[in-house]
């Protein structure tokens, strides 16, 4: 038995394949059908970037997953199985820990995967398809993810243009809860930046657009105030942060115009984010005192620098995960001897009870004396067997657990409970 990770992601397959293989809520309930001699415990995670199965079992479980997907989706497995990657043992555990820590994400360090991973674990637990091995695997993956986030800067620094704009605004103004922001135009990135600003606590949002109807609709979505385009100067005068992304072929904001606006503002600082291509704001506007102007190239430069920072932090994260994977693999290796320890414990306990019963039948003691004798024999067995069990666990981690397991079984003529179940399932 071993840990396996079987899946596809944005690295190996197009979205057309991933979306076809993602399970619906109804299909998710059928995952119980996958549990078998080859797949003892199972977890499943699906996001826009990946579809993955994690299981405790043997190699033949891989083909069972492909067959399950073929039947659930009505798609021949030969049409999709080549897109899948397959990891086992330590390599699988490292992959799973990297997924949970967002080191395998399209956007390195993005925080959403942690919540998605946790939700997937909870859903699988409710379905009853996980077990002690997979439960510990998923729990340790989440714990490793938390350690990565608290001990590295993997999730810090904006790596999207829209969020980089927000970071710059915070650097200029500090808290944004007293700021007014103005969105000019309806470009996608500008709109996204405006939403980020709103989430960051911007007090008031003005929306200016050549089509007032569009401004009204967007203002309603943002909880802002719509203004017609002929009130552009007024909107900028009232704003601390301006995001502009129109389809204009000429500048909508020029230096002299900005000089007049700044006089009305009494030179109060203003942050202008020009995400339009071609640009909406004359570059000379930046020469006006207390005007901070950034265009798309400036923001992309910030994003690239932040990505480099995250890559450096990712190296620290990989070292943390290597340590966490090592701990988990040691625990997993120790579990190989557990069934034999259970069998040995049960065997010794049967002998104790049998001999105790013979003795009690001969002595005809009272209840109090019988209870004391039972406690004494139990304590003797525990004290004798405890160092044996500790030794077996330690040696199973350090050496060949399989050989040790077979040696102990041969010495005491034991059969562990899992083997009995295996035979029943065959």
- What's the CA gap between 37 and 58, in Å, rounded? 8
Please compute the mean of the pLDDT values over residues 31-50 and round it to a whole number. Answer: 94
Q: Is the pLDDT of residue 423 over 60?
A: no
Distance of CA 315 to the CA centre of its chain: 18
Give per-residue pLDDT as tens, 207-232. 999 988 988 988 898 889 999 999 99
- Sign of dihedral through CA atoms 415, 416, 421, 423? negative
Give per-residue pLDDT as tens, 362-407. 888 889 999 999 999 999 999 988 888 787 777 776 766 677 778 7
- What's the CA gap between 174 and 164, in Å, rounded? 15
Closest of 173, 140, 304 to residue 241, by C-alpha? 173
Domains and CATH numbers, the chain: 2-156 (3.30.460.30), 161-301 (3.40.50.720), 333-425 (no CATH)
pLDDT at 123: 95
Give per-residue pLDDT as tens, 173-209. 888 989 999 999 876 777 888 888 888 899 899 999 9
Please compute the mean of the pLDDT values over residues 231-239 and round it to a whole number. Answer: 95
Phi-psi sector, 374: left (phi>0), alpha (psi -120 to 50), beta:
alpha
The active-site residue, picked from 48, 124, 179, 182, is 48
Residue 209, beta-bridge partner list: 228
pLDDT at 323: 95
pLDDT at 99: 95
Q: Which residue has the higher pLDDT, 85 or 177?
A: 85
Q: How many CB atoms lie within 10 A of CB 159?
A: 20
Give per-residue pLDDT as tens, 53-84. 999 999 999 999 999 999 999 999 999 999 99
**Strands of 89-240, DSSP E:** 180-185, 204-209, 225-228
**Considering only 134-138, 194-198, 287-291, which range has the smallest mean pLDDT?**
194-198
pLDDT at 239: 95
Closest of 213, 214, 290 to residue 245, by C-alpha? 214
Between vectors from CA 190 to CA 187 and to CA 193, what angle results, nearest 5°?
150
pLDDT at 85: 97
pLDDT at 158: 62
**0.95 exceeded by pTM:** no
How many separate helices (H) and strands (E) can be counted in the chain?
16, 10
Q: Is the pLDDT of residue 409 over 90?
A: no
Contact status, residue 23 vs residue 46, Cβ threshold 8 Å: yes
Please compute the mean of the pLDDT values over residues 263-281 and round it to a whole number. Answer: 92
Establish whether 182 is a catalytic residue.
no
pLDDT at 399: 67
């Amino acid at each position: 038995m071993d840990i396996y990770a079987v899946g596809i992601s944005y690295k190996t397959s197009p979205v057309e394949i991933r979306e076809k293989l993602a399970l619906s809520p109804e299909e998710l309930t059928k995952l119980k059908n996958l549990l078998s001699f080859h797949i003892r415990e199972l977890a499943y995670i699906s996001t826009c970037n990946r579809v993955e199965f994690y299981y405790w079992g043997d190699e033949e479980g891989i083909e069972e997953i492909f067959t399950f997907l073929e039947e659930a989706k009505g798609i021949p497995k030969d049409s999709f199985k080549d897109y899948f990657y397959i990891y086992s043992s330590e390599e699988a555990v490292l992959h799973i820990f990297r997924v949970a820590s967002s080191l395998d994400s399209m956007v390195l360090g993005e925080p959403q995967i942690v919540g998605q991973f946790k939700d997937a674990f909870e859903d699988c637990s409710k379905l009853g398809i996980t077990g002690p091995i997979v439960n510990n695997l998923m729990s340790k993956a989440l714990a490793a993810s938390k350690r990565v986030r608290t001990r590295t800067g993997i999730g810090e620094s904006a790596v999207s243009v829209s969020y980089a704009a927000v970071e710059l605004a915070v650097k200029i103004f500090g808290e944004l809860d007293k700021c007014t922001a103005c969105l000019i135009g309806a470009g996608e990135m500008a709109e996204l930046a405006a939403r980020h600003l709103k989430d960051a606590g911007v007090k008031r949002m003005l929306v200016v657009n050549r089509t007032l109807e569009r401004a009204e609709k967007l203002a309603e979505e943002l909880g802002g105030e719509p203004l017609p385009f002929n009130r552009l100067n007024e909107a900028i005068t009232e704003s601390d942060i301006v995001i502009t992304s129109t389809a204009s072929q000429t500048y909508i904001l020029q230096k002299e115009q900005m000089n007049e606006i700044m006089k009305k503002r009494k030179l109060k600082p203003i942050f202008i984010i020009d995400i339009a291509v071609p640009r909406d704001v004359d570059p000379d506007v930046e020469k006006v005192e207390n005007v901070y102007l950034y265009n798309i190239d400036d923001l992309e430069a910030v994003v690239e620098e932040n990505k480099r920072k995250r890559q450096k932090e990712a190296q620290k994260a990989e070292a943390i995960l290597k340590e966490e994977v090592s701990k988990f693999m040691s625990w997993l290796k120790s579990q190989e001897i557990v069934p034999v320890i259970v069998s040995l414990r049960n065997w010794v306990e049967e002998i104790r009870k049998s001999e105790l019963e013979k003795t009690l039948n001969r002595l005809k003691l009272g209840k109090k004396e019988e209870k004391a004798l039972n406690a004494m024999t139990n304590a003797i067995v525990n004290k004798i067997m405890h160092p044996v069990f500790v030794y077996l666990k330690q040696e199973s981690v350090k050496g060949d657990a399989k050989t040790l397991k077979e040696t102990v079984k041969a010495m005491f003529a034991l059969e562990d409970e899992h083997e009995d179940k295996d035979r029943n399932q065959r």
